């Protein structure tokens, strides 16, 4: 079992909070880019603007929030201390932020120099994070399903970063790498190996805790992380083998998709069994995310099983939209609305006789309004696949939704600062 909560081992509040407050800003940038470019993004998922928007979400929104969550969860929930958390957070945050901006600029402006600067910044930031987190994660005695998932996710992040660095070298120096293969491997290891494994591991902890559900069934918690990692490794080898292993690669793709659907279905099942029947915005963000994950996997499996189909490129973009904006942005937003109030409440313990309730740090009415804007953005972006002018509306709504998230989280941080100063005085 995972060790009991170790509140006294929590890192300084600035460690996770800087990542949570930065992530929505990249989401705003992604939405504005979509609104500005509109139908140009539909030309190909390989185009510079499409890759820029993708990395604003993956490196900017997703990775920032996931790094912040990891730095908070490890010491508190698992008892695995992160080496020098302030220094690790500072180096990682600065490197990720600057590297992402440079990389996005490289895609938009097609300037090799920007890739040459971005690559070492991102590699250094990820290396510091992985080494600091790995030291506590693999060196401690903690056990449990969350630990297992994180121990699979962190090496997957290292693989993702290594392949991404190779791609950046190719763009920056013109090396003749097999770009299509490397891009597919980079996406698979980032979205499945790092993203899905990390979110599954955090879900094993936060869904029962914050949504008052039963725990995930033990066979899912034990077998899903290792099964996903093993399937992904086998899929990568089959993809690298090329046409002779195409049938095996497709079969493994189906199994990977099935594993993702099992996680989504189990989460939806637990939500139905929750003890607290009140439906709040966080509950709906998570439900939106799981339905979007099922839709993304369904479309992806259709492409695998159907072979050559008309408008294949458009369907590939729909998969990316459902996975990134529908699943990852939704679930991370819901996660932020629980973790940030929890962190601020936690750090007021011992400073105040009666700190505010966690629900008082972010107004539920404001979160509900942001959720509605998020839903409208997803609907407009989906419609934009068939009617490109609505992409501008979808992009603007997505930017507004992320800006709303930023304001809500910043409000919680401001309340913490005000109460902390008052308590100190």
Distance from C-alpha of 415 to C-alpha of 354, rounded to nearest angstrom? 14
The pLDDT, as a whole number, for residue 254 is: 96
pTM for the full predicted model: 0.94
Distance from C-alpha of 345 to C-alpha of 358, rounded to nearest angstrom? 6
Contacts of 169 (CB under 8 A, 6+ apart): 115, 119, 175, 177
The pLDDT, as a whole number, for residue 1 is: 36
The pLDDT, as a whole number, for residue 323 is: 97
pLDDT digits (tens, 9 = 90+) for 167-185: 999 998 887 788 889 999 9
Q: Looking at residue 349, what DSSP letter applies?
A: B
Please give the C-alpha separations between residue 407 and each of 45, 101, 150, 404, in angstroms, as whole numbers.
31, 22, 30, 5
The pLDDT, as a whole number, for residue 3 is: 43
The pLDDT, as a whole number, for residue 144 is: 82
Closest CA to 285 of 164, 167, 367: 367
Question: What is the helix (H) or strand (E) element at residue 318, kind and residue range?
Answer: helix 312-321
Segment-wise mean pLDDT, segments of 10 residues, the chain, 425 residues: 56 93 98 91 81 96 96 80 90 97 95 95 96 85 84 95 94 84 95 95 90 92 93 96 93 96 96 86 95 97 87 90 97 94 86 79 94 98 93 97 97 91 78
Distance from C-alpha of 237 to C-alpha of 241, rounded to nearest angstrom? 6
Residue matched to tokens 């918690």: 221
Q: How many CB atoms lie within 10 A of CB 5?
A: 15
Tell me the chain's radius of gyration from C-alpha atoms. 21
Q: Phi, psi (5° rounding) for residue 349?
A: -60, 135
Do residues 292 and 321 lie in contact, with contact meaning Cβ atoms separated by under 8 Å? no
pLDDT digits (tens, 9 = 90+) for 317-330: 999 999 999 999 99
Q: What is the 3-state secondary structure (H, E, C) of 191-218?
A: HHHHHHHHHHHHHHHHHHHHHCCCCCCH
Do residues 166 and 177 lie in contact, with contact meaning Cβ atoms separated by under 8 Å? yes
The pLDDT, as a whole number, for residue 8 is: 62
The pLDDT, as a whole number, for residue 234 is: 97
Q: How many CB atoms lie within 10 A of CB 351?
A: 12
The pLDDT, as a whole number, for residue 424 is: 75
Q: How many CB atoms lie within 10 A of CB 98?
A: 15
Please give the C-alpha separations between residue 76 and each of 73, 157, 331, 400, in angstroms, as whole numbers.
5, 22, 21, 33
Q: What are residue 352's DSSP bridge partners?
A: 349
Closest CA to 381 of 312, 341, 310, 322: 322
């Amino acid at each position: 079992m995972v060790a009991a909560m170790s509140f006294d081992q929590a890192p300084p509040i600035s460690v996770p909070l800087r990542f949570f407050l930065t992530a929505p800003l990249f989401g705003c940038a992604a939405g504005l880019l979509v609104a500005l470019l509109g139908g140009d993004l539909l030309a190909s998922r390989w185009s510079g603007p499409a890759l820029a928007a993708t990395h604003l979400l993956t490196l900017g929104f997703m990775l920032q929030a996931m790094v912040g969550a990891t730095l908070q969860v490890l010491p508190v929930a698992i008892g695995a201390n992160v080496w020098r958390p302030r220094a690790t957070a500072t180096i990682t945050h600065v490197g990720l932020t600057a590297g992402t901006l440079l990389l996005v600029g490289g895609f938009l402006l097609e300037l090799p120099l920007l890739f040459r600067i971005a690559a070492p910044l991102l590699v250094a930031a990820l290396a510091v994070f992985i080494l600091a987190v790995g030291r506590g994660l693999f060196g401690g005695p903690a056990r449990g399903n969350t630990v297992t998932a994180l121990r699979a996710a962190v090496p997957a992040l290292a693989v993702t970063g290594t392949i991404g660095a190779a791609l950046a070298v190719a763009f920056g120096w013109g090396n003749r790498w097999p770009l299509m293969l490397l891009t597919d491997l980079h996406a698979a290891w980032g979205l499945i190996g790092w993203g899905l494994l990390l979110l599954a591991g955090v879900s094993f902890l936060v869904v029962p805790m914050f949504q008052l559900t039963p725990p995930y069934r033990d066979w899912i918690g034990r077998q899903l992380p290792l099964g996903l990692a093993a399937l992904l490794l086998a899929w990568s080898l089959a993809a690298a083998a090329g046409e002779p292993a195409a049938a095996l690669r497709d079969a493994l793709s189906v199994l990977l998709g099935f594993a993702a659907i099992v996680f989504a279905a189990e989460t939806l099942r637990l939500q139905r069994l929750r003890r607290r029947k009140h439906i709040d915005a966080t509950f709906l963000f998570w439900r939106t995310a799981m339905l979007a994950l099922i839709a993304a996997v369904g479309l992806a499996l259709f492409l695998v099983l159907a072979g050559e189909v008309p408008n294949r490129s458009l369907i590939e973009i729909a998969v990316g939209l459902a996975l990134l904006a529908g699943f990852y942005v939704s679930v991370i937003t819901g996660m932020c609305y629980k973790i940030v109030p929890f962190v601020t409440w936690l750090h007021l313990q011992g400073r105040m006789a009666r700190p505010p309730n966690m629900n008082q740090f972010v107004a539920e009415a404001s979160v509900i309004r942001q959720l509605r804007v998020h839903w409208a953005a997803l609907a407009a972006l989906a419609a934009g696949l068939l009617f490109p002018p609505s992409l501008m509306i979808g992009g603007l709504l997505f930017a507004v939704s992320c800006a709303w998230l930023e304001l809500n989280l910043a409000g919680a941080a401001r309340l913490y600062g005000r109460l902390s100063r008052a308590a100190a005085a």
